[in-house]
């Protein structure tokens, strides 16, 4: 409960914030009314405080106006030309608003305060997407500003059916989290399930949407069951399909729920290209996925167990290249993969200029020096390079990580059992995938459960004018897109 | 899921490494030769030598090393190689099996047993026989021509010969074994022999076919070998030399089709129908090829020559009692009640052969359209 004495309020806030330097106090005495203004100078815009609060105070407390203490707050609230003013009656709310860039105005003799929004925009400008670039289509991406991100969605879907509900998660961070959906499309159960998962989160701070992603994922899955995107257009497309989107304060990434395995093969570029071209690029992605996972394993299997599967000339080529290499194929493959992963990791962390040096160094070390030194065979460099390049076709880090894990698993099985081992691991891989669910929805949809129409549309792409139905697994109302 | 993982981990720990071999630890056997003399088998393995190859993968198929092992059985001879040579023999890419004349006399069928039973060995290497010498002399040509000869060259020769010469054809191990195991058919296998300085590139020569009948190997002559491929329509284009006005005319036999039918009533009648296309490729007589009469005479001569080839084959079968065409096999399969009656007879002596050759001679020869082509002639 707020004290009626402003000095008590000041003392209390100073105690709580331990005299933090960013919390500013300003006592004002106007026409026998004593006011205490408290604000966080890092989060508040000084110009807004001067122009919209301080300047107007003198006009509001005119000599001719007699205001009772009891109506002081409501009078002030109605008179001040600010776009967002809230009445506050508890210190918890005071701290929350202070953390959100509000100025708190205490009135002496009144046990209420006003929170006036004078927020400073501490965010980047809207820039191009960094991780999901596309040649065609919109070029804007989310940034760390919560309202800007919601605005980027709202300006694309102007319908009143677009619901943006807000939550505050994190005991210390009190991070604002928005749950966004189209109320006339989304399955009500899905919304309640998402809300339930969010309400169950018990954590001190949410610093990014990836925190939420990890917290709502019941199983520790390798493949992502919740997709992230930094593109507002991708978010809107998913909202129109009946999915729920989660945005989080200070994060440029949105979460899309539910996500299916097949979605990982889609790129934002696909939405703006003709189906025939998308067909080609998606086939390339499927091939790349299998090459990324299976190439090293297959090489190990056919060179150590099933040599008869190799055409004789290729066999001779492999054998001549491997002669003199001191390590078994699995050690060679794992070593090369490890070096590649180290290079990739250092390339990501290094500044751009240093990154290119790392790439050159890696290319020389892996491609030439290691071969010349007889540590690895040229064919192994090719095999690992094919696998690595194919895995990099996917922009999602979680997908790359999953590929990395399964590539290793397939390699170990191939080393132990040869080609039958690859099939064995393949069964395990499919079992794991089929076992996954994203918010209760089968992860392998539309492959299992099979739906021909949505299989064609998801695995390949149908023409936009024929794509007039929503997936029944995502929505239970308004199946037709043109019948809203 | 945890149970599956536990089972898989168990398999990984306890069931691994059964047939794990690194490429470095093996040599590729491209050709295997088997000889037999005085109770001792000699197995010669021509292994591909890639030790001299660069890392960039220069062509190293031509270079090979010969491993030789001796033993009382084929497997002991193969194991004998491990005493002298350091690496594991990989027979999964075996391309050629050369059988020497010593084996042919007594143990021809035995050599298949080892290869069929051996899990590492492929079942489809081509089989060739050296009826006049040993397998080792075919494989061990080092020193005679400066560098070792690779069995792959013999394989390539057989393939090309089958397509364009017709005196041999590919017979792989499974096919030969299948023919041996079938009733009423005698397997025909290509033959190769060593010839000193045939030319500067090769010291081996494909000599035609041999047939394995009654545990005896008999060589077909050149005409009978070509006829065997004609009856089986097993070539792309082979030259047949015929006579026109007592001068040689070479006509390419293309698009062959053949059918061998057998009917048994009072006697056995065998109908051999051969059809195909002839392209005149060489003619030394100044003749008017757009003259229908000339073409007909050429065609008749051509058909008669082909019949003559087939008659040679039938005569060979009759003389040697070798059922190359598998006539008894046809009786066994389609007229089984007569099989007992004919199984011990020389069927080529009792059967009536009706050979019907229907060739379509292209008057413009191997040129697509000459100055005066076929279309002009029709006008």
Q: Is B266 on the interface with A (CB under 8 A)?
A: no
pLDDT digits (tens, 9 = 90+) for B272-316: 999 999 988 888 777 777 788 888 999 999 999 999 999 999 999
Q: How far apart are the C-alpha atoms of B214 and B323, rounded to whole Å?
A: 11
Under 8 Å between Cβ of A60 and A80: yes
A313–B61: do the CB atoms touch at under 8 Å? yes
Q: How far apart are the C-alpha atoms of B122 and B115, rounded to whole Å?
A: 8
Q: Is B13 on the interface with A (CB under 8 A)?
A: no
Q: How far apart are the C-alpha atoms of A259 and A256, rounded to whole Å?
A: 7
Predicted local confidence at residue B38, as pLDDT: 87
Helical segments of A258-396, H only: 275-304, 312-322, 329-349, 352-364, 370-372, 378-391
How far is residue B29 from each of residues A316, B26, B46, B126, B346, measured CA to CA in Å? 11, 9, 6, 13, 41
User: Quick one: which of A354, A286, A299, A368 has its CA closest to A332?
Assistant: A299
Residues on chain B touching A317 (C-beta within 8 angstroms): 57
Report residue B371's pLDDT band, with 50, 70 and 90 as the boundaries. very low
CA A298 to chain centre: 34
Predicted local confidence at residue A81, as pLDDT: 78
Predicted local confidence at residue B149, as pLDDT: 54
Predicted local confidence at residue B201, as pLDDT: 59
B61–A377: do the CB atoms touch at under 8 Å? no
C-alpha distance across the termini of chain B, in Å: 81
The helix, strand and coil proportions of chain B, stated in percent and rounded to the nearest 5, come to 35, 30, 35
Which residues 269-308 of chain A have a CB within 8 Å of chain B? 303-305, 307-308
Q: How far apart are the C-alpha atoms of A93 and A95, rounded to whole Å?
A: 5
Report residue B378's pLDDT band, with 50, 70 and 90 as the boundaries. very low
Helix (H, G, I), strand (E, B) or coil at A148: helix
pLDDT digits (tens, 9 = 90+) for B141-198: 654 443 455 677 888 889 999 999 888 999 998 898 888 888 889 999 999 888 776 5
Residues A278 and A410 in one domain: yes
Report residue B58's pLDDT band, with 50, 70 and 90 as the boundaries. low
Residues on chain A touching B93 (C-beta within 8 angstroms): 307-308, 312, 315
Q: Quote the minimal CA–CA distance from A416 to chain B in Å.
A: 5
Residues A157 and A88 in one domain: no
Residues on chain A touching B51 (C-beta within 8 angstroms): 323
A329–B22: do the CB atoms touch at under 8 Å? yes
Q: Is B23 on the interface with A (CB under 8 A)?
A: yes
Q: Which residue of A has its CA nearest to B14?
A: A416
Predicted local confidence at residue A483, as pLDDT: 53
Q: Is B86 on the interface with A (CB under 8 A)?
A: no
Higher pLDDT, A140 or B123: A140
How far is residue B235 from each of residues A99, A382, B229, B326, B367, measured CA to CA in Å? 89, 41, 7, 19, 21
CA B141 to chain centre: 22
Q: How far apart are the C-alpha atoms of B150 and B280, rounded to whole Å?
A: 36
Predicted local confidence at residue B9, as pLDDT: 64
Predicted local confidence at residue B12, as pLDDT: 59
The domain covering B233-379 belongs, at the CATH homologous superfamily level, to Nutrient germinant receptor protein C, domain 3 (3.30.300.210)
Residue A335 lies inside a defined structural domain of this protein: yes
Q: How far apart are the C-alpha atoms of B114 and A114, rounded to whole Å?
A: 97
Structural domain spans, chain B: 25-219, 233-379
Residue A474 lies inside a defined structural domain of this protein: no
A305–B60: do the CB atoms touch at under 8 Å? no
Q: Is B53 exposed, middle or buried (0-12, 13-18, 19+ CB in 10 A)?
A: buried
User: Quick one: which of A297, A476, A261 has its CA closest to A384?
Assistant: A297
Which ipTM score applies to this complex? 0.71
Residues A220 and A283 in one domain: no
Q: Which residue of A has its CA nearest to B121?
A: A308
Residues A311 and A420 in one domain: yes
Residues A204 and A297 in one domain: no
Which residues 57-96 of chain A have a CB within 8 Å of chain B? none
Predicted local confidence at residue A356, as pLDDT: 67
Q: Quote the minimal CA–CA distance from B249 to chain A in Å.
A: 41
Of B1, B8, B53, the CB nearest to A435: B1
Predicted local confidence at residue B124, as pLDDT: 85
Q: What is the block-wise mean pLDDT of chain A (484 residues), using blocks of 10 residues?
A: 88 89 88 86 88 79 68 80 85 89 90 89 84 87 91 92 92 92 92 93 92 84 89 93 93 93 89 89 94 95 88 83 86 88 80 67 73 85 91 86 92 89 91 89 89 83 82 84 62
Does the pLDDT value for residue B108 go beyond 50?
Answer: yes
Of A320, A417, A428, the CB nearest to B53: A320
Residues A287 and A383 in one domain: yes
Q: Quote the minimal CA–CA distance from B147 to chain A in Å.
A: 19
Residue A93 lies inside a defined structural domain of this protein: yes
- A23 DSSP β-pair partners: A40
Q: How far apart are the C-alpha atoms of B195 and B137, rounded to whole Å?
A: 10
Residues A61 and A198 in one domain: no
The two structure tokens encoding residue A427: 């069964």
Q: Is A370 on the interface with B (CB under 8 A)?
A: no
Residue A346 lies inside a defined structural domain of this protein: yes
Residue A464 lies inside a defined structural domain of this protein: no
Cβ contacts of A19 within 8 Å, gap of 6 or more: none
| Domain limit, last residue, from A236, A259, A282 | A259
Predicted local confidence at residue B13, as pLDDT: 59
Under 8 Å between Cβ of A176 and A207: no
Residues on chain A touching B16 (C-beta within 8 angstroms): 415-417
Residues A388 and A290 in one domain: yes
Residues A224 and A175 in one domain: yes
| Domain limit, last residue, from A117, A137, A158 | A117
Q: How many CB pairs under 8 A join A and B?
A: 84
B53–A428: do the CB atoms touch at under 8 Å? no
Give the range of the structural domain holding residue A221, as residue numbers without chain letter: 146-259
Report residue B212's pLDDT band, with 50, 70 and 90 as the boundaries. confident
How many Cβ atoms from other residues are within 10 Å of residue B140's Cβ?
18
Q: Report the interhelical angle of A91-99 vs A6-17 (nearest 10°).
A: 60
Number of domains in chain A: 3
Range with the poorest average pLDDT among A135-139, B106-110, B244-248, B272-276: B106-110
Residue A41 lies inside a defined structural domain of this protein: yes
A416–B1: do the CB atoms touch at under 8 Å? no
Q: How far apart are the C-alpha atoms of A278 and A282, rounded to whole Å?
A: 6
Helix (H) or strand (E) holding B256: strand B247-264
Residues A285 and A426 in one domain: yes
Report residue B11's pLDDT band, with 50, 70 and 90 as the boundaries. low
Residues A287 and A397 in one domain: yes
């Amino acid at each position: 409960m707020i004290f009626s004495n402003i000095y008590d309020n000041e003392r209390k806030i100073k105690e709580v914030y331990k005299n933090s330097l960013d919390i500013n106090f300003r006592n004002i005495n106007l026409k026998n009314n004593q006011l205490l203004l408290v604000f966080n100078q890092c989060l508040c815009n000084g110009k807004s405080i001067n122009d919209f609060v301080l300047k107007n105070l003198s006009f509001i407390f005119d000599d001719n106006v007699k205001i009772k203490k009891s109506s002081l707050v409501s009078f002030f609230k109605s008179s001040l030309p600010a776009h967002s003013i809230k009445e506050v009656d508890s210190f918890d709310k005071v701290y929350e608003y202070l953390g959100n860039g509000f100025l708190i105005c205490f009135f002496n003799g009144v046990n209420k305060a006003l929170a006036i929004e004078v927020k400073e925009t501490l965010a980047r400008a809207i820039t191009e997407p960094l991780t999901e670039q596309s040649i065609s289509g919109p070029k804007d991406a989310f940034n760390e500003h919560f309202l800007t991100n919601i605005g980027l969605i709202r300006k694309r879907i102007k319908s009143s059916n677009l619901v943006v509900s807000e939550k505050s998660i994190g005991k210390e961070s009190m991070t604002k989290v928005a749950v966004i959906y189209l109320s006339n499309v989304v399955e009500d159960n899905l919304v309640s399930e998402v809300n339930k998962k969010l309400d169950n989160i018990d954590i001190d701070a949410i610093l990014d949407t990836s925190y939420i992603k990890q917290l709502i994922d019941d199983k520790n899955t390798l493949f992502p069951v919740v997709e992230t995107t930094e593109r507002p257009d991708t978010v809107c497309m998913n909202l129109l399909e009946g999915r729920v989107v989660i945005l989080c304060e200070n994060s440029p990434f949105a979460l899309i729920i539910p996500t299916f395995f097949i979605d990982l093969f889609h790129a934002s570029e696909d939405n703006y290209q003709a189906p025939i071209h998308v067909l080609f690029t998606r086939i390339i992605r499927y091939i790349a996925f299998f090459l990324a996972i299976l190439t090293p394993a297959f090489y190990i299997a056919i060179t150590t167990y099933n040599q008869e599967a190799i055409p004789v000339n290729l066999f001779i080529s492999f054998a001549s290249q491997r002669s003199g290499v001191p390590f078994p194929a699995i050690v060679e493959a794992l070593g090369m993969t490890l070096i590649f992963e180290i290079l990739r990791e250092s390339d990501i962390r290094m500044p751009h200029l240093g990154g290119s040096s790392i790439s050159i160094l890696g290319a020389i070390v892996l491609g030439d020096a290691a071969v010349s030194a007889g540590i690895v065979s040229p064919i192994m460099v090719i095999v690992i390079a094919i696998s690595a390049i194919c895995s990099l076709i996917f922009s999602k880090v979680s997908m790359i990580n999953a590929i990395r894990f399964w590539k290793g698993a397939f390699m170990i099985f191939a080393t132990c059992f040869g080609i039958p081992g690859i099939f064995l691991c393949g069964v395990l891989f499919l079992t794991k995938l089929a076992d996954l669910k994203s918010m209760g929805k089968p992860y392998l949809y539309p492959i299992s459960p099979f739906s021909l129409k949505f299989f064609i549309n998801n695995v390949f792409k149908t023409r936009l004018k024929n794509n007039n139905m929503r997936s029944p697994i995502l929505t239970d109302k308004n199946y037709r897109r043109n019948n809203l | 899921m945890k149970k599956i993982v536990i089972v898989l981990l168990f398999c990984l720990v306890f069931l691994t490494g059964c047939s794990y071999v690194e490429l470095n630890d093996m040599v590729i056997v491209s050709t295997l030769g088997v000889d037999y003399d005085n109770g001792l088998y000699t197995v010669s393995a021509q292994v591909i030598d890639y030790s001299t190859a660069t890392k960039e993968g220069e062509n190293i198929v031509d270079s090979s090393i010969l491993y030789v092992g001796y033993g009382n059985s084929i497997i002991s001879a193969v194991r004998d190689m491990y005493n002298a040579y350091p690496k594991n023999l990989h027979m999964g890419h075996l391309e050629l099996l050369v059988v020497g004349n010593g084996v042919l006399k007594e143990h021809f069928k035995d050599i298949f047993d080892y290869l069929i039973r051996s899990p590492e060995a492929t079942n489809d290497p081509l089989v060739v026989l050296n009826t006049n010498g040993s397998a080792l002399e075919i494989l061990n040509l080092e020193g005679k021509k400066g560098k070792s000869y690779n069995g792959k060259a013999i394989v390539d020769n057989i393939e090309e010969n089958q397509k364009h010469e017709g005196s041999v054809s590919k017979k792989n191990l499974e096919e030969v074994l299948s023919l041996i195991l079938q009733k009423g058919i005698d397997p025909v296998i290509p033959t190769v022999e060593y010839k000193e300085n045939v030319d500067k590139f090769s010291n081996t020569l494909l000599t035609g076919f041999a047939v394995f009948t009654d545990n005896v190997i008999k060589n077909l002559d050149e005409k009978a070998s070509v006829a065997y491929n004609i009856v089986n329509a097993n070539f792309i284009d082979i030259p047949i030399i015929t006579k026109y006005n007592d001068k040689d005319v070479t006509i390419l036999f293309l698009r062959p089709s053949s059918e061998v039918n057998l009917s048994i009533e009072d006697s056995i009648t065998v109908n051999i129908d051969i059809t195909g296309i002839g392209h005149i490729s060489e003619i030394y007589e100044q003749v008017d090829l757009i003259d229908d009469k000339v073409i007909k005479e050429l065609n008749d001569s051509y058909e008669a020559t082909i019949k003559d080839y087939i008659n040679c084959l039938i005569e060979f079968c009759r003389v040697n009692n070798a059922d190359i065409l598998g006539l008894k096999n046809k009786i066994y399969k389609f007229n089984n009640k007569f099989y007992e009656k004919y199984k011990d007879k020389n069927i080529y002596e009792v059967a009536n052969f009706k050979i019907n050759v229907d060739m379509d001679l292209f008057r413009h020869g191997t040129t697509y359209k000459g100055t005066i082509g076929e279309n002009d002639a029709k006008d």
